[in-house]
Amino acid sequence: MSRSSLLQIEEQLVDDSGSVLFSFVKGEQLEFPVLMNFIENEPVIVNGAPVHPASLYSFEAVVVEALNVIDQTDKPTNIAVNPVINRLVVRVPTYRGDWLATGVYSKENVVRHDNKYWKLLIGANRINPLPPGVDGTWVETVLNKIFVQFPNSLGSTYLIKPQVNFPVYGFFELRVTEPYDVIFVRTWKPVRGMVEILFSPTDYVPDL
């Protein structure tokens, strides 16, 4: 059988779902869930206790200032000279193991009950004998999900500030590195794209 040319690409061995665009009004503070398909949706036993599988991984999320210009109508395609670099917090939910009727749970705690995983929506140090699925303050979730937090200060030190007629941008990337492996430690960059920051009238008045 004849061999293929190096330039005749017929199969893509590494792919992703495409680049993303996060859009914020300047001063918003939000977090976004990211599903990690390569992390098992099962707890991991560490020192005899179950822990969230994502807690064993290392996460690095950054936004790098783009080369914005005044009155830009198109998204920039380069980073700024000496860009502002924002390192974002990546939150891994707290896994509490099997649900207990006498357990004390707080918002965003995750438990297992009836072979499903549940996340608490509200409350702090809450005790309720009604189980998830009956108690409506629990919602079904998965363990291989993490949350990227975007602070309200994002874009505040960019050289160009957003105006009524144009936003400014930064470049976003999330890097995930697996725990120590005796064979080969793998690193993924599953989410990449741009952050759009829009003009905000309330940004011009003191906070209440």
Q: Which domain holds residue 71?
A: 22-204
* Inside any domain, residue 110: yes
Residue 1 domain flag? no
- How many domains does one find in the chain? 1
Q: Is residue 11 part of a domain?
A: no
Residues 144 and 54: beta-carbon distance below 8 Å: yes
pLDDT at residue 16 above 70? no
User: Is 127 domain-assigned?
Assistant: yes
Quick check: is 2 in a domain? no
Whether residue 3 is contained in a domain is answered as no
For residues 54-80, average pLDDT: 96
Whether residue 129 lies inside any domain: the answer is: yes
9 within domain boundaries: no
Burial 91-102 (b: 16+ CB within 10 A, else e): ebbebbeebeee
* Pairing between β-strand 168-177 and β-strand 187-198 as defined by DSSP bridges: antiparallel
User: For 41-52, how does the pLDDT look when each residue is reduced to its tens digit (9 = 90+)?
Assistant: 999 988 888 889
Q: What is the pTM of this model?
A: 0.88
* Residue-wise pLDDT tens digits, 137-192: 999 999 999 999 999 999 999 999 999 999 999 999 999 999 888 799 999 999 99
